[in-house]
Amino acid sequence: MNLELLGSSGMAGVNFDSRFSGNSGFGYSVGLGYGYSNGGFDLPETKGNDGVSHEVGIPVEVNYLFGQKNSHFVFGAGAYAGAHINEAQSKPQFAYSFFGDVAYRYQKPTGFTFAVGIKPNIRRVFWPYITLGYSF
């Protein structure tokens, strides 16, 4: 489990990350994210919604961990889908994005985890991020 700041979660999110099989490098992450914007920022799929807006969504990712012991490089790809809610509009709009993931992760078998990386999306926006979590 981890708390993600920025990245594909928006401003903040909570994610569950697991391996598909034991200590395999292949795994997945699924979470719940929240984002906030105060004017001047439009997602291409919600064009024209300047002003105060909120976004709640679910990022889902498949990834692979390279490395030994506690240090790993993460390479992954995923999608984000959610509701974009502009305070000036009466109806929420569907929002989505596809992204990659390139990061460094420090993780013991149990205990504290930390990651820092970027999640470039298909619109050439780079989402930097940091995660803090607990492995069990």
How many domains does one find in the chain? 1
- Evaluate whether 101 touches 78 at the Cβ level (below 8 Å): yes
Sign of the torsion formed by the C-alpha atoms of 51, 55, 61 and 63: positive
Looking at every residue in the chain, the average pLDDT score rounds to 88
Domain that holds residue 74: 2-135
Percent of the chain past pLDDT 70, that is, above it, reads: 90
Q: Bridge-partner residues for 47, per DSSP? A: none
Closest CA relative to residue 73, chosen from 99, 101, 98:
101
Cα pseudo-dihedral 101, 98, 78, 37, rounded to 10: 80
> Does the predicted model carry a pTM greater than 0.85?
no
Percent of the chain past pLDDT 90, that is, above it, reads: 59
Say which CATH number the domain at 17 has. Answer: 2.40.160
